[in-house]
Copies of this chain bind each other. A is one copy, B any other.
Amino acid sequence: MIARHDTKTRILDAAEKLFGEKGFDGTSLRDITREADVNLAAVNYHFQSKESLIEAVILRSAGPVNDRRLAMLEAAGPKATVEQIVEAFVGPVLEYDFQPMAPLMARVLSSPEVMQRVFKQHIETLSRRFADAIAEAVPELSPSERMWRLHFTAGAMAHTVTRAPVMRDLFGGILDIKDRQQLIARLVRFAAAGFRAPGGY
């Protein structure tokens, strides 16, 4: 008899689900081990602490997404348009909406402490890469204006992920893949126009 997953993976899966549903503080190790059907002590054996578990869960989910963002940016080449850059920035994040990890990402995006702890240098390099690309596409922007507009775009994206359930209610149905692509197109239109707005030199 071989279990579908080993204990460590079962813990990660359960934690990902519950952190997304109830937040990091709102989820106890007892909740997680019950959901994963493993022993309480297994968490502190495989991970050293709850804090380390949180980091492990986040990195397993967010790593591939950020890799994909950078890959799309590279694929667009050195002469990328603003639309291509924005799509590389927001597309991979929004595409993962409605996947199992989506609620977790929403939690991460809205938790200052966790963001700060886990992503400090990761976000720093990623922002710089995209800021450089924007500098090529919209050279007339001052460095700080460019950074702020990238920041506004990140906010619009994060807000869309974190408030997805509410928006789903507003539009009275479950969004399928087609709607997701349309949503990305909407955000790209909005943010690209924002980057091209006059002023802020």
Contact = CB atoms under 8 A, between A and B. Distances in A.
Name A's interface SS. helix
Interface string A165-184: 11101110011100000010
A6 interface: no
Nearest to A199: B189
Contact of A110 (B110, B169, B194): B110
Contacts of A127: 170-171
B171 A144 contact: yes
A154 B159 contact: yes
A17 interface: no
Nearest to A192: B197
A167 B127 CA distance: 11
A123 interface: yes
Given A144-B176, A159-B159, A193 B186 contact: no
A171 B198 CA distance: 22
A152 B144 contact: no
Given A113-B23, A183-B148, A158 B155 contact: yes
